Homo-oligomer: A and B are copies of this chain.
């Protein structure tokens, strides 16, 4: 029989329908593969390849001069723009806000045919350092309430360009979905006197069955109530509301554990499309006992359809414990 499981942090129910189960390696559907290395290392038409840079869009590069290792550019078709005043207006019965904000692209590597899973820890650390630096810069703008750091790998995960890159969006509002999550976390703290994310992490470390990888600073596990196969959370052991308060050794440790998780997925699931998101508190939340930042890695092995859109609930055909055991079993050097 299938079961419903509740994510204790968000209170969202998920249907774990593992009677429809496939073996974990059967999720490797050819059409969801990205085939990263089938590309050439340089694409003369790619705006992110060295030599093709559109300098008018440049925000910064690292190192600041000479050949770059990572690079930040403005999105050519930004969802939000830096210029302009933040205005809230009524539009009849409706409310609207001017589209002020940030929409930047982090070019992760000079090479066209690589991806985080194939990079060294040091290369991934540079990408995270770039997120960190841009995050601190964007949060200085008092119009910004929330920063979302994310990566779309592969067309099925929403990537329109193949060159390895991530995106940073700075928003002038705290999205409703994030507000709801904050309220749930606060309620848990009120009831129990401790952070729900710390509680989950301790439980996963004790149980071990859903762990994917651990190191001194981070714990990675497949969610008990995973909405989709291999849906993984990477939590910092140190309670903190924001990625932006991470210390250098934590950023290094995050690079280490992300490399391992992404490489396990790359090998075990054969370069799947995935999304990676850093979930950090609204930028004006400096510190509290109930919010805890984390990273989510979501292989995109299925589609969102009418049921998910109509209920907000997901049906996961994979047993989270089996997904975790599968990833633990993939050897990574």
Residues of A within 8 A of B (CB): 1-6, 8, 10-13, 15-17, 19-20, 77-81, 84, 91-99, 146, 148-152, 156-159, 167, 169, 171-173, 175-178, 180, 199-200, 203, 207, 224-225, 275-279, 296, 298, 303-307, 309-313, 315
Q: Are A203 and B99 in contact (CB under 8 A)?
A: no
List residues of chain B with CB within 8 A of the CB of A172: 4
A–B complex contacts, Cβ < 8 Å, 18 sampled: A3-B98, A6-B94, A10-B176, A15-B79, A15-B80, A17-B78, A17-B99, A92-B207, A94-B225, A148-B306, A148-B307, A150-B307, A156-B303, A158-B304, A175-B312, A275-B305, A275-B310, A276-B306
Chain B residue with minimal CB distance to A227? Answer: B309
Q: Shortest CB–CB separation between residue A145 and chain B, in angstroms?
A: 11
Q: Are B79 and A13 in contact (CB under 8 A)?
A: no
A157 in contact with B6 given A175-B312, A176-B312 (CB within 8 Å): no
Chain B residue with minimal CB distance to A153? Answer: B306
Main secondary structure of the interface of A (DSSP, over half): mixed
A310 in contact with B15 given A99-B3, A157-B305, A207-B92 (CB within 8 Å): no
In the assembled complex, the Cα of A157 lies from the Cα of B306 at a distance in Å of 7
A175 in contact with B94 given A99-B3, A158-B305, A305-B158 (CB within 8 Å): no
Q: Are B176 and A12 in contact (CB under 8 A)?
A: yes
A12 in contact with B199 given A77-B20, A96-B6, A224-B94 (CB within 8 Å): no
In the assembled complex, the Cα of A224 lies from the Cα of B91 at a distance in Å of 10
Q: Which of B19, B95, B305, B311 contacts A177 (CB 8 A)?
A: B311
Q: Are A96 and B5 in contact (CB under 8 A)?
A: yes
In the assembled complex, the Cα of A263 lies from the Cα of B306 at a distance in Å of 19
Q: Shortest CB–CB separation between residue A2 and chain B, in angstroms?
A: 3
List residues of chain B with CB within 8 A of the CB of A2: 78-81, 99
Q: Are A11 and B176 in contact (CB under 8 A)?
A: yes
Q: Are B277 and A309 in contact (CB under 8 A)?
A: yes
Q: Are B306 and A150 in contact (CB under 8 A)?
A: yes
Q: Which of B15, B180, B310 contacts A150 (CB 8 A)?
A: B310
